[in-house]
Structure 1
Amino acid sequence: MQILLEGPQEFVGKDGRRYILREFRASDLNAVVSINRRVLPENYPEWFFMEHHLSFPKAFIVAEMNGELVGYMMNRVEYGWSYINKGRAARKGHVVSIGVLPQARRIGIATNMMLRGMNAMRAFYEAEEVFLEVRVSNTPAISLYKKLGFEIAGRIPRYYSDGEDAYIMARSLENL
């Protein structure tokens, strides 16, 4: 199935449940903040989510199941040194935060949000590559990112507030 760049798109999960991916709306703020607080140890204030929505609206994706938000992916695009082509500057998509509620995991939501978000960063904001930080202990996420073509590009010691290291993972958006 082709991932749409705009508008709502319905998917059938691996277990047969249906869900919709669409762009974040301001009215989604409380639900997205709630998901962030429930599933991730790194929490952001409301203004941070709204800043990303206002700056990169096409790349802020939410997942909805039975009328309830069950996941989100917040992205931005930056300019700086490439993780892919060392020694050269690039427009880089940055997956700032992605979360899916436990009852909606393992059916393809995170994979499809990642694909839509990466495509949006490339198509609307001219990103050449994409990167993210992930806890070195987060094996399920690392596995997902590798499946999507990401490679470990570096390690940041004590990146998280609890002292855990992060991997920087990156991939080109050229052949998405």
Structure 2
Amino acid sequence: MEIVLEGPQEFTAKDGRRYVLREFKMADLNSVVSINRRVLPENYPEWFFVEHHMSFPKAFIVAEMDGELVGYMMNRVEYGWSYINKGKAAHKGHVVSIGVLPHARRLGIATNMMLRGMKAMKRFYDAEEVFLEVRVSNTPAISLYKKLGYEIAGRIPRYYSDGEDAYIMARTLADL
């Protein structure tokens, strides 16, 4: 199914249930903060989510299933040295945070949020490539990102508050 960038879009999950991807609204804030706190060790204050929504509203995606928010993807676009074309500056999409509740995992939700978020960063904010940080131990996430065309571009020692390293993973947006 082709990902649309305007308005809500309905999908059929791998288990047959239906879910909707759409842009974040301020009314979603408490649910998104709750998902962040429940599924990720790195938690952000409410103002951080609001700031990203205000700056990059088209690239802040949520997933809703059975009337419940089950996932989110928060992105921004930065200007700096490219991870793809070394030595050149680029507009880089940054996947700041993505989370899906445990009962909604392995249904295709994260994949479709990633696709919509990457396309939005390219179309609305002129990103040429996209990158993210991921724990070196997070095998399921690394596998998803590789499936979506990301490659390991570097490693940041002790990136996370518990001392774990992060991989920087990146990909071009030219083919989206």
Task: Tell me which interval the TM-score lies in, with the shorter structure as reference length.
Answer: over 0.9
| TM-score, normalised via structure 1 length | 1.00
| Residue 152 (structure 2) aligns with | 152
Amino acid paired to 2:157? P
| Residue 125 (structure 2) aligns with | 125
Name the CA distance, whole Å, in 2 between partners of 1:75 and 1:96. 5
| TM-score, normalised via structure 2 length | 1.00
Correspondence 1:88-107 to 2 at 5 A: 88-107=88-107
1:14 to partner: Cα distance? 0.7
1:146 to partner: Cα distance? 0.1
Moved over 4 A (4+): none
1:56 to partner: Cα distance? 0.1
Correspondence 1:28-43 to 2 at 5 A: 28-43=28-43
SS of the residue 1:121 aligns to: helix
SS of the residue 1:152 aligns to: strand
Name the CA distance, whole Å, in 2 between partners of 1:116 and 1:165. 28
Gaps of 5+ in 2: none
Name the CA distance, whole Å, in 2 between partners of 1:169 and 1:87. 17
1:91-149 per-position Cα deviation (integer Å, ceiling 9, x unaligned): 00000000000000000000000000000000000000000000000000000000000
SS of the residue 2:43 aligns to: coil
1:6 to partner: Cα distance? 1.3
Q: CA RMSD in A?
A: 0.3
Name the CA distance, whole Å, in 1 between partners of 2:140 and 2:93. 21
Residue 58 of structure 2 is aligned to residue 58 of structure 1: yes
SS of the residue 2:79 aligns to: strand
Residue 71 of structure 2 is aligned to residue 71 of structure 1: yes
Residue 115 of structure 2 is aligned to residue 111 of structure 1: no
1:25-46 per-position Cα deviation (integer Å, ceiling 9, x unaligned): 0000000000000000000000
Name the CA distance, whole Å, in 1 between partners of 2:102 and 2:66. 15
Gaps of 5+ in 1: none
| Residue 26 (structure 2) aligns with | 26
Residue 9 of structure 2 is aligned to residue 6 of structure 1: no
